[in-house]
Amino acid sequence: MKSALLMAAAGALFWLSSPLPGRAASFAPPDGEVLLVVGQNRQTCDDYVKAVGKVPGGFMFYTSIGALEGLQTPYQGAGYVQDAQHLVDTYPNTTLQIGFWMVDCLPATIAGKYDANLDRLAAWAKKAKRPIYLRIGYEFDGAHNHYDPKDYVEAFRHIVKRLRDQKADNIAFVWHSVAGITEKPPETWYPGDEYVDWFAVSYFDQSARHMDPMTQLAAQHGKPLMVAECTPKGQFTRHGLGVWNLWFKNFFHWTDKAGVKAISYIDDNWDDMEIWKGQHWGDARVEANQAIKAKWIEQVGQPKFLQSSPELFKKLGYSAD
């Protein structure tokens, strides 16, 4: 009887610690470790690796539910190229973090208009054979996206169900807040624990207190927290260590305090790109200044930061088998 009870207890523990059938794991790093992701276009990713001399644990990629631009072939935007296949082919042992743009697409998503695109994304993702973090309708509470909460929740759930039905089990689903001043609290847009694997925030030039609601919600719901987009907005790294002391030190202090499990750094010269001209984003390239590059390499070179390695997928709980 005792052995039977022990076996039953072990089975229950296995069930509690395992992903639900048809549900992807979160692919979160072990306690005390942080996944390092860099973006946010093909040239930026390649230039970063060349300059820093080390491949990060993942790369950022952007596309839309309506067209899947840049997924299988390069997409030329206004001063940038999105090219997911290049990232997959060029950088083995890395993850992919996808910003999934859905502005003005929620009703059509709910109606199934984009199901063929979701099936295509699922097929591509399975062939990529790596953890993929999908930010569905990223910055859901940002006024610039004007997502209706009810429609957003329904569309998010539709996407998750469709991708799970297609057995794209290497996709984890990310619920990403703008973490700024909003008219409604973020939970107004929450799809539910069954559909969300990660909570995420953007970290630019806003006060860290704007991150508090999502940090608290992540803890309450038992979800890992990601910085899905971050950059020293309005700063120019080429000006030297003043930028490091002003932004980077505060950023890493906050991520440590908040228990962030993944950071996604946008290493762009924003002001040099047509799409961002006149918006005063600055130049965030860590390689633009030797002192900042050295500080960055020292910071992310700590053992807790997960970069590309043959052991990365195992640490994230992913197996292609």
Give the pLDDT confidence of 305-317 residue by residue, as tens digits.
Answer: 999 999 999 999 9
Please provide the DSSP assignment of 73-127 as one string: S-EE-SS-EE-HHHHHHH-SS-EEEEEEE-TT-HHHHHTTTTHHHHHHHHHHHHH
For the 28-312 domain, the top CATH level (class) is: alpha beta
Strand pairing category for 132-136 and 171-177: parallel
Residue type, 211: M
pLDDT at res. 16: 37
Q: Above 60 in pLDDT, residue 8?
A: no
Average pLDDT, the chain: 92
Q: Are 283 and 236 in contact (CB under 8 A)?
A: yes
Running DSSP on this structure, what letter comes out for residue 139?
A: S
pLDDT at res. 214: 98
Question: 3-state DSSP call for residue 175?
Answer: strand
Domain residues of the chain, as ranges?
A: 28-312
| Alpha carbon distance 134, 24 (integer Å) | 11
Running DSSP on this structure, what letter comes out for residue 158?
A: H
User: What distances in angstroms separate CA 206 from CA 180, 187, 230, 297, one per listed residue?
Assistant: 7, 20, 11, 25
Answering whether pTM is above 0.85, one says yes
For 293, list phi and psi in degrees, rounded to 5: -60, -45
Average pLDDT over residues 19-28: 62
Instruction: Give the rounded distance of the alpha carbon of 48 from its chain centre.
Output: 18
Least confident of 30-34, 44-48, 76-80, 169-173: 76-80
Tokens of 299: 């910071």
pLDDT above 70 coverage of the chain, percent: 93
| Alpha carbon distance 199, 196 (integer Å) | 8
- Helix ranges, the chain (H): 2-17, 42-52, 84-90, 106-110, 115-128, 149-165, 212-221, 241-243, 249-258, 290-300, 312-315
User: pLDDT tens-digit profile of 170-196?
Assistant: 999 999 999 998 989 999 999 999 999
For 36, list phi and psi in degrees, rounded to 5: -100, 120
User: pLDDT tens-digit profile of 143-157?
Assistant: 999 999 999 999 999
